[in-house]
Every structure is written in structure tokens, then in C-alpha cells.
Structure 1
Amino acid sequence: MQDNPGAINRRQFIRNTSAAAAALGAAALSNPFGASAAQARTRVALVGTGIRGSTTWGKNLLRDEGDKVEIVGLCDINPDRVQVANRWMGGKIPTFTDFDEMINTTRPERVIVTTVDSTHYQYVCRAMELGVDPISEKPLCTHDYQAQQIVDTQKRTGRKLDVTFNARHGASSMKVKELLLDGEIGELYSVSYEEFLDLEHGASYFRRWHGLKQASGTLLCHKASHHFDELNWWIDADPVEVIAYGRLNKYGSKGPLRHSNCRACPFKKECDLYWDITTNQDYMELYVDCEDQDGYYRDGCLYRRAINIPDTYSVQIKYDNNVLVNYSLNATVPYEGQYIVFNGSKGRLDLRNYDRQPWDVPYESEIRLTHNFKGSKVITVDPQRGEFFEHGGADQRIKAMIFDPSLPDPLNQRAGMRAGILSSAIGIAGYTSIDTGRRVRIDEVVKL
């Protein structure tokens, strides 16, 4: 499964591509303003000025790629929030609450979509209809009709679509891809992927709009779309069938106490998961100070009865090359990280990514490579850390690749419409399976 038809496959892969990829990553991070000063900047508009849009794809995009990118318009349905975002970016960008007006007025070449998940498809399709190439945050869509509308619109308009799967650009993910391409474990048989979300990060999804299925498509679309894309990319094949189970164990109606939001809650002392948003100045400006416009509480109660998504998931995926995947996501765990295993004809890869845990580790990622009838070795990987490195440098790498098409892509990390659709389709098939109790084929979700 490839979005880039010129990308290499296993048989074409040679060892020096690993060095090339490492050099690219180092160059993009060490010299974020590396393009020629004479290079014309791409005119970019942004719709959705929440924290991801306003920072990663707003002020930080200008910081990292300011010599390649000019933000010509900002749009949000909340008129106060878009003004906060504008102030964070210097205060001189035209702002809008109407998407068509922004596009017609500013005439961008690209538009970045960072709105509520269930609305991504609307802006992606409308941008293409208006002659603009969209860049969408994951998930690309949250429902089958949305997936088909995107596919049909792209075919009709011929526009280019990028999806920002930054997990492909994580240091350990890249190393695993190199090892698989290099044939270290031979033919791939199966993968096991466990995602642990702790009571800080995992709980945060249930404070926000993400806890509503109609907005997020459940965590199988919002969060796991990263992981499903990684799986599709690593396995280099198309998913064909999904069966899934899900259960709400801790949040929503399962909680013992509830109120509208944490600030107003009378149970602050009794609630183990009380969160004080007033300690975060950015959230206060971007959300609390803008509540009057839309009534959205960024510190919503974890136990409000409107929450209608599981916090615990188990998914099985079958691929067209017969690789089998077991995937699980748990948002109620006392520590955070990932444990991912690859079983092949020549051996096994074990990847352990550490994030937060109540014990010390000497490294953040460990890959154990074990060959059949031979020894085992450990490869440690540390992401880039520091004030300007988002997601271990992955966000910087993906921005560099999107806005500099001349950069080489030896690991096929650029992700387009097909990658975005297939990742979302697994999530959509997953929650459909949970709802119906049956296996769901990907071609029931979307016709590519």
C-alpha cells in the first residue's frame, strides 16, 4: 500500500537508505530554515484554531518553516478564538468565521484543516472544490459516507491531499520501518500493538469533545488512526477485514461523581481526576476566555453522561497479504507507552516505547531484534528533545517534508488521501463491529 508510486519496496530497499533518512531527519531538525531565501513561500490558510492548529500548524509552523510558508488566513467558527490565534501569530493575519469567504478572499495554495474530527471531510472536500490542495490532521474522516465523499471529490477535482500522520516520523517508528525493509525478520506474519494511555493523557480525551462519538468517531478514529496508519505503513499492505470489541469502564456514566466542568465542580476534593485549567495560561486564553461564544468547556467533566465512546478497545485486522494484527487501546492505565511486536519468518522485533511511568528507564525506546536460532540484540532509540521539538521531532520532520517536495522520501513517509482513508476506514469498521457484533470488511466502508 503506497501513496507514492515511486517509493521503494522491500526488494528495492538497500541499506544506504537508512543513512539517507537519518541525514534528512538531522538536516530538517538542525536547520529548520534551510530553504533558499529566494524560494517563493507557499500561501497557506488554516481552519480550526484550537491548540493543535494554533501552535503546531500556526505559530510553530511559522517558526519552523517561515521561509517556505506564509499564513494568509485564519478561520474558526468561534470569533474570539480565531483572534487569540491571530495574536499568537503576530496579530496581522486576516481572520474569518466563514470558510468560503476566507478561501475566496485570501486565495491560498494550501489549506490546513485542524477542526473537530467529524468536520474534517467538509473542509477537505470544499477546499478541493474551490481549487485548493488540503492538508488534513488525522483522522481524515469519521464515517463511511465521509470517506466516500472525499474519495469521489478527489477523483473529480484531481487535487492533492496530504494527511499529517506524524507517527510515521517518530524515531522508533522509522527505525522499525528500516529493519522491516531490510528483511531482518523475513516475511512478516503478524503484529501485536498495545497502546497504553495513562490517567492524565487518557482521561484528557473524555474532558473534551473527543468523548462524543458524533464528534470524534471514538478513539478508534481519533487516536488509533495514528496507529492504524503506522500498521498499514509498516506492513505495506491493505487492510481487508476488522472485528472489534469495546467497553466503557471508567468515564462517563461509570463515574461516581459528575458536574458540568472541573472549575464549577463541588466535588473537587473528592475527585481523583480533578484538573485545574486555570494553571495553563494558553488554555485559559484559547478556551476559557472564548466560552461565551460556543459554550465549549475544555475542562469538561470526565463523568458527564453525554460521553458515549468506550475507553477500552480490542481490534483484530486482517490484511490482503495475510498478515494478522491484534491491536488494543486502554485509556485507564497507570502509565503511558506502547508495546509493539512483529513476528516474521526469520525472527521477531519487540518495540517498547516509554512515555510516562512510575519507574526510571535509561532510554525512551528499545527495539529488541531476535533472529531464529541466533542471538538477540537491543537497539535503543532516543527522540529529539527540547523546547522546539514536538512529538520527539516528528512534527518538525513532517512539516519539512510537506512544504519541501524536493526532500527525499526513502521510507515512503509522505501520506496522501489513500493512506488517510484506509487508516480511518479501520477505525470506522472497528466501531461498526463494536456496535453490530460482526466482522466488517473495509470495502463496506469505502470504495477506493
Structure 2
Amino acid sequence: MKRIVICGISNRAMGMFIEPVLTSYYEHNQIVGLLDVDNRRMSLCKEKYPSLMDIPCFNENQFKQMIQETQANTVIVTSRDDTHVNYILQALENDLNVITEKPMVTTAADAKTVMEAEQRSLGNVTVAFNYRYNAYHRRIKEIIMDGKVGRVTSVDLNWYIDTYHGASYFKRWNRVREHSGGLSVHKSTHHFDLVNWWIDQLPEQVFAYGALNYFGKDGELNPSPKNNRFCGTCQEQLDCQYYMRWSNRTNNVRIKDDHIQSTTNSLTKPDYTNYRPDACIFDHEIEIEDTYVATVKYDKGSFLSYSINFSLPYEGYRLAINGTKGRIETMEFHEPSRVPFPIPEQTIDYYPLFGSKEVIHVVKGEGTHGGGDPLLQEDLFLGVDPTRSYDILAGTKAGAYSIALGEGVWRSSKTNLPIRINELLNIKNDQTHTFQT
């Protein structure tokens, strides 16, 4: 029986972990404690899930007490990104297993610390990279494993974030690098992990450019140079194209935030203590980048050409994987309901080096993130699917290399120099095999 404590009562914690444990996996999993910096979050969680009403609650300084009182053996970490490392290390010190939301931590240095702590512990860390479980992403992995593209030589991945989702990162804590690691860590680690996993290679070196093009005080669509505005009370709503694209004069602004319980029409009276998800996207404190391009060299010879942009008319990605025997292409529109024009259904196109194109239609599962979340939940709470022929759950090594690559992108964009990934992780090349995948 997993005796689970939850560190960080975010919306993601409730929807991805708490609810499925209570409704689908309760026979072998039990939530025995809640921890958060805000008592109000824990109260709201109990209101939403009355079966947790008698579960003890703890503040961020009571981790050790929580473990002693609850006799927990599993810690789920869903707090703000920069706090992950503290809970993970404390759990490993107590020989507990950890399930953490991505990114595992926010710096390569912290990632190395977690890997070393895991080696000393009886516990282990699982990083919840749900994108691996998307039906299309699993099929791409299988095509590569089947040898249809041969030895992978290069990958082109261009990621697009629309004006609704993209702006959300600049309305809240993500816009502070100390809290999120910047978007090359908070968001791009999703994508870097996918590529690392698809091609089964480790990134060696990265060169990148980055810029703040859309948001912050110099954003070209900023209605005025004013600071410290909030969408819910702003007097310039009608002059803000980002606001008006997703709102109108009679409805309050729509918000997207994985760290609040629900979108609310009362942004001036937020449910959580000292937390608002509608800070102005043009505030002067914003200095993280909203645009990146990067080139990555891998340890087995592959190259990655990557870009991401956080203010585009639609959301999705374009992918091409080239190899010595063929090529894979696909394009996905993430949020069809937000795309203002007709879009085709996603397929995977396979082009053998010599021969005819093959169009692959993928069987999609139910659930969020392309049906990936329910499959990840099954592996986390029932045990790994014994019928799957390849590894898919991510551990500390996968988490660390995705983070180090994200940090390398940012550092390269600031220094105009190539960055060696193992130097960020303080790992010698012959040590990479010693850490868990």
C-alpha cells in the first residue's frame, strides 16, 4: 500500500494525483497527509474532496513531522518549481519514494544534488513526464525502435504556444527566473525530454539564442508604460489586444493556471493567500525570454534544431526526425478549440529513404494531454504496464538532462557561447551510466 503525502496543493496536484487516487486507485494507494505554504489551499482541497476532511495538514517547515506522524512511504511533489528540490531531498533522506512534477528541479546543480542523494537512499525519484505517454509520442518512439528511420541523424522540433497559454506564464510566478528557471526550464524540459527519450541519446552541447520579444515593459503591444497592473482591475483592458483576444467587455478575463483550483470570475478576491494569476504581462520585473532557438549535439551523433515561441496565433508543434533509412514528419494542434481556422487531424507521415510515403493514423486514448495522463497514472499507482516493451517512466537522470539542457539554452543565449551539458551537471563523461534513467 502506498501511503502518500502531497507537497503542494496545486490544481495539478488535485486533478492529476489526488482525484485519481481517491476515485480509481484507492485499493493500493492512500493519501495520508497534505503540505502547503497556504492553509487556504488545503482547506479548498478538503472542500472539493470531503473524504480528505480528517487528513492532517502541515506547513512547509513540518516535513519531518509529517513523515513521522503519517508513516508515509511515498511523497508527491507538486509545489512551485523552485521548492521541488527541498521536498525531494528530504524524502530521499528518509528513504522514501518520490513522484515529482516536471521539471524535477530548476537548476542543473540541484539536479546533480538530487541524483547523488538518490544513490545514497533506499528511495527513488520518478519524474511525471506525461508527454511521453501521448499516443502519437509513443508511436513515434515505436517507429524509431523498429528501425524504420535507421540511425537518427537529426531532429527538427518547432514548438508554438498561443497568445492565451503563452501570456499565462507572464501573469504569475513563472515569470521570475528564481521561481521557474525560466521557460527554457519550466516549459522546454517537456520537449527536451521527449527528444532525449525518442532517440535514446544524451545531449552533449548546446548553442542558443533567446529574446524577450512580446512581453515585459518593452512589449510592442503594451498599452502604456504603467507598472503593477492586474487584468481583473486594469483600466486599459480595451486597449490590450492580449486581453481582448480572450475576453470581452462583459466577461472577466479567462485565466490559465495549473496552480489554482479553478478559473474564477473574482480575480480581485482570489481564493489563495497572496496569490494572483492575473498580473500584467507587461510588468517591469519580467526579464525571462519568450523566444528561443537552439542547436544541440548528442552523444551518439544526432543533432537537434529546436525553437519555441510563446506568443503565436495557434498552439502545437512541427516535428521531423531524419535517419539513415527514412524520415518521420508530424504536426499537432494542441488546442483545436482555440484555433480560429479549420485544422487537419494529426497523422504521422513516414518517408522511407527509397520508397513510398506511409501515412500512420494513431489510435488515441481518452484523457488529458492526448490520453497520456491516464496511462501515466496507471503506471504510477498500479505499477508499470508489464506488456509494454520499452521503458517510459522517467527517473532522475532523464529529469536532470532535460533541466541541464534547458539551463544550457538560457546560459548560451546570455553568453553567446556553446554550453557543455555535463559541465553544468558536473559529471565526467564516463560517469553518465552510474545514474538511474
TM-score range, shorter chain: 0.7 to 0.9
- Name the counterpart of 2:360: 379
Amino acid at match of 1:394: G
Q: Among residues 26, 34, 58, which one is paired with 1:96 in the alignment?
A: 58
Confirm or deny: 8 A CA contact 2:317 2:333 kept in the other structure: yes
Matches within 5 A, 1:131-280: 131-255=95-219, 256-257=222-223, 258=226, 259-274=228-243, 276=252
Amino acid at match of 1:58: I
Separation of aligned partners in 2, 1:441 and 1:371? 34
Confirm or deny: 8 A CA contact 2:25 2:382 kept in the other structure: no
Question: 1:263, CA displacement in angstroms?
Answer: 1.0
Q: TM-score, normalised by structure 1?
A: 0.85
Separation of aligned partners in 1, 2:200 and 2:401? 12
CA deviation digits over 1:201-221, x for unaligned, max 9?
111111121111111111111
- Name the counterpart of 1:282: 262
Question: 1:286, CA displacement in angstroms?
Answer: 11
Q: Among residues 80, 87, 90, which one is paired with 2:40 in the alignment?
A: 80
Separation of aligned partners in 1, 2:269 and 2:368? 26
Separation of aligned partners in 1, 2:121 and 2:286? 38
Check 1:56–1:277 CA distance in 2 against 1; reply closer, same or farther (3 A cut).
farther
* Partner secondary structure for residue 252 of structure 1: coil
Runs of at least 5 residues in structure 2 that lack an aligned partner in the other structure: 433-437
Check 1:278–1:189 CA distance in 2 against 1; reply closer, same or farther (3 A cut).
closer
Check 1:279–1:301 CA distance in 2 against 1; reply closer, same or farther (3 A cut).
closer
Confirm or deny: 8 A CA contact 1:44 1:112 kept in the other structure: yes
Check 1:277–1:383 CA distance in 2 against 1; reply closer, same or farther (3 A cut).
farther
* Partner secondary structure for residue 246 of structure 1: strand
Question: 1:289, CA displacement in angstroms?
Answer: 5.5
> What is the root-mean-square deviation of aligned Cα atoms in Å?
2.1
Separation of aligned partners in 2, 1:112 and 1:269? 42
Percentage of pairs with the same residue: 33
* Partner secondary structure for residue 155 of structure 2: strand
Separation of aligned partners in 2, 1:253 and 1:239? 34
- Name the counterpart of 1:35: none
Check 1:154–1:288 CA distance in 2 against 1; reply closer, same or farther (3 A cut).
farther
- Name the counterpart of 2:393: 414
Question: 1:279, CA displacement in angstroms?
Answer: 8.4
Separation of aligned partners in 1, 2:88 and 2:255? 35
Amino acid at match of 1:45: V
Amino acid at match of 1:328: S
Amino acid at match of 2:107: H
Q: TM-score, normalised by structure 2?
A: 0.87
CA deviation digits over 1:277-324, x for unaligned, max 9?
58898234998765673x221111111111121110111111110100
Amino acid at match of 1:302: I
Deviates more, 1:277-286 or 1:260-269: 277-286
Question: 1:349, CA displacement in angstroms?
Answer: 0.3
CA deviation digits over 1:71-119, x for unaligned, max 9?
1111110111121122222242222213333222212111110111111
Check 1:279–1:201 CA distance in 2 against 1; reply closer, same or farther (3 A cut).
closer
Confirm or deny: 8 A CA contact 2:157 2:306 kept in the other structure: yes
Question: 1:437, CA displacement in angstroms?
Answer: 1.5
Amino acid at match of 2:30: E
- Name the counterpart of 2:342: 360
Amino acid at match of 1:65: Y
- Name the counterpart of 1:47: 7
Check 1:287–1:394 CA distance in 2 against 1; reply closer, same or farther (3 A cut).
farther
* Partner secondary structure for residue 169 of structure 2: helix
Separation of aligned partners in 1, 2:184 and 2:229? 25
Check 1:292–1:260 CA distance in 2 against 1; reply closer, same or farther (3 A cut).
farther
* Partner secondary structure for residue 37 of structure 2: coil
Separation of aligned partners in 2, 1:424 and 1:331? 19
- Name the counterpart of 1:309: 288
Separation of aligned partners in 2, 1:263 and 1:61? 35
CA deviation digits over 1:256-286, x for unaligned, max 9?
2354311121111211222635889823499
CA deviation digits over 1:364-406, x for unaligned, max 9?
x211101122110211235334xxx121221110111122235
Confirm or deny: 8 A CA contact 1:277 1:283 kept in the other structure: no
Runs of at least 5 residues in structure 1 that lack an aligned partner in the other structure: 1-40
Separation of aligned partners in 2, 1:287 and 1:47? 25
Question: 1:360, CA displacement in angstroms?
Answer: 2.0
CA deviation digits over 1:329-349, x for unaligned, max 9?
111110111111001111110
Amino acid at match of 1:260: R
* Partner secondary structure for residue 170 of structure 2: helix
* Partner secondary structure for residue 282 of structure 1: coil
Question: 1:131, CA displacement in angstroms?
Answer: 2.4
- Name the counterpart of 1:393: 371
Check 1:177–1:277 CA distance in 2 against 1; reply closer, same or farther (3 A cut).
same
Separation of aligned partners in 2, 1:187 and 1:427? 25
Question: 1:52, CA displacement in angstroms?
Answer: 0.8
Separation of aligned partners in 1, 2:20 and 2:379? 15
Separation of aligned partners in 1, 2:255 and 2:88? 35
Confirm or deny: 8 A CA contact 1:199 1:332 kept in the other structure: yes
* Partner secondary structure for residue 154 of structure 1: helix
Q: Does 1:345 align with 2:324?
A: yes
Confirm or deny: 8 A CA contact 1:340 1:350 kept in the other structure: yes
Question: 1:149, CA displacement in angstroms?
Answer: 1.4
Confirm or deny: 8 A CA contact 2:378 2:384 kept in the other structure: no
Check 1:230–1:288 CA distance in 2 against 1; reply closer, same or farther (3 A cut).
farther
Separation of aligned partners in 2, 1:285 and 1:103? 37
Check 1:141–1:278 CA distance in 2 against 1; reply closer, same or farther (3 A cut).
closer
Check 1:264–1:100 CA distance in 2 against 1; reply closer, same or farther (3 A cut).
farther
Confirm or deny: 8 A CA contact 1:80 1:290 kept in the other structure: no
